[in-house]
Amino acid sequence: MFKKIQIYKLIFFRLLLIVVGIELSIYFFKINLFFTGIFGFCMVFLLVREMYFYVQNMVLLYNKTISSILQNDFTSDFSKHKIDKNYGDLFQLYETMKSKHNEQISRDIIYRSILNNIETGVIILQKQEHDWSIFLMNDYFSSHFNVPKVSKWKYLKNQLSSLCEILEKDDFHEIKTSIEISINEQSRQTFVLQASRTEIFEQDYFIVLLDSIQNVVEKKEKDAWINLMKVISHELLNSITPIRSICQNLEDLVEQDSLSAEDLEDIKHSVQTMLRRSDHLQKFVEGYRKLAMLPSPKKEYITLQDLIENCVQTMNPLFKKENVEVLNAIKGKYQIYVDQQQIEQVLINLMTNSINALESINNKEIGISAEAKDNRVFIKISDNGKGIEKEIEDKIFLPFFTTRNEGAGIGLTLSKNIIEAHGGYILHNNKDGKTTFEICLIDE
């Protein structure tokens, strides 16, 4: 505001000089000082000319700066004008907008780089009056579907009609489905299609994601194999390394001419160690066999309440030994169609895990409940134990993963496989100081 007042003062001062110059020139003519009067009018002319160019330059500078801001053109250089303090606010506005513009460009480059480096087809449409335009198409979409980066919906429709017809059929609303698309007139491939619509600053956008089911499955399989091989190699090395070291030690001992009582004790101890590690390896292989050769469930109708009571009765000696209170809240006569032995194994595994989690707890409680809804039966087993650490939540169902020294690491994996073989699922959560495992079975 202060700088605007300064500009107004400068213009007012120039106008005042012009008015005073005109008055003096007229006065000189009246007193017959013609040459002085003419000189005065010349000075007035020069003042008017200087004021004209001053105002013109000021207006041009303002117009150029504002136009640059409005058109997002920040290539202009106003460094030679920055010494003029009268334009300080104007140049500060320009520099602020330039900084924000450059920051936005940097963000756009980063976002586009991220989108172009993911193995998912991404295309974003923008509503233009009554039609759609291509706001963004990532490199994977363009190369995988052999589609040039067009700007209009009608051009994309000519290139990829099968996809566009599905989107138009649902009137560009949210959708999640699988579709088959023929690429380069070759065999058709199946893709997972996810589309969502959003409005940002009164602009309508439609985001489409396409994932190859084959790529998803291959990635999952690869991750599973990597995790499995890590566990297997870890277990093998844990047994083979000490066994090899013991064998070297035994080799040195047997090469001696005579063996002392101490040497014989070392040999005995070494053999016992090798037997223990061999037993551990045997249990490891048997656990893998259980997972790999799980028989198909032999289903029959049984009452859930009877099933739970059988499991509790089986575990009762251990509950009494560990002073665990079991709260069985199942009252209804739920009929479930399952393999009784396999589901009992799952429930016993979960109860055993709960007992281990209650090891350092004073008031030990295990809760069992169930409910039926939407043609499904949900069985919950919870405990007030130490819970599952966040760092390992995503690993507890991995084969041979365990936090206990004496554990085999197959209980939860085997339970998960059994439930999935029954067409259900198992999940867990930590809430209100309790860890709960929930089993979902289809009520056939």
pLDDT tens for 163-214 read: 888 888 878 888 888 787 766 555 567 788 888 888 887 888 888 888 877 6
Summarised one tens digit per residue, pLDDT across range 65-123 is 777 767 777 666 665 555 455 566 666 777 777 778 778 778 878 888 888 888 888 88
Domain boundary among 179, 198, 216: 216
Domain assignment present for residue 434? The answer is yes
* H-only helix segments in 255-299: 261-292
Distance CA 119, CA 351 (A): 42
My answer on whether 144 and 174 are in the same domain is: yes
My answer on whether 370 and 438 are in the same domain is: yes
Distance CA 123, CA 139 (A): 10
Which segment of 76-85, 137-146, 264-273, 357-366 scores lowest on mean pLDDT?
76-85
My answer on whether 225 and 334 are in the same domain is: no
Cα 174 from chain centroid (whole Å):
20
Is residue 231 pLDDT above 60, yes or no? yes
My answer on whether 208 and 224 are in the same domain is: no
Domain assignment present for residue 281? The answer is yes
How many distinct structural domains can be found in the chain? 4
Domain that holds residue 19: 2-95
State residue 412's pLDDT score: 80
pTM: 0.43
State residue 217's pLDDT score: 62
My answer on whether 67 and 137 are in the same domain is: no
Domain assignment present for residue 112? The answer is no
Domain assignment present for residue 377? The answer is yes
My answer on whether 308 and 400 are in the same domain is: yes
Which of residues 260 and 3 earns the better pLDDT score?
260
Domain assignment present for residue 224? The answer is yes
Tell me how long the chain is. 444
124 within 8 A of 206, measured Cβ to Cβ: yes
H/E element, 356: helix 340-357
**Binning pLDDT at 50, 70 and 90, where does residue 1 land?**
very low
Task: Identify the CATH number of the domain in which residue 414 sits.
Answer: 3.30.565.10
134 within 8 A of 156, measured Cβ to Cβ: yes
Phi and psi angles of residue 375, each rounded to the nearest 5 degrees, phi first: 60, 30
Helix 304-321 to helix 340-357 angle (10° resolution) is: 30
118 within 8 A of 138, measured Cβ to Cβ: yes
Domain boundary among 179, 197, 216: 216
Domain boundary among 288, 308, 342: 288
| CA–CA distances in Å: residue 80 to residues 72, 77, 85, 87 | 21, 8, 12, 11
Tell me the one-letter amino acid at 382.
S
| CA–CA distances in Å: residue 10 to residues 6, 16, 21, 54, 257 | 6, 10, 16, 10, 115
My answer on whether 306 and 437 are in the same domain is: yes
Domain assignment present for residue 179? The answer is yes
Q: In angstroms, what is the C-alpha Rg of the chain? A: 41
134 within 8 A of 154, measured Cβ to Cβ: no
- The closest alpha carbon to 380, from 426, 443, 316, belongs to 426
My answer on whether 198 and 244 are in the same domain is: no
- If you search the block for the tokens 């007193």, which residue do you land on? 31
State residue 173's pLDDT score: 83
Is residue 222 pLDDT above 80, yes or no? no
Domain assignment present for residue 295? The answer is no
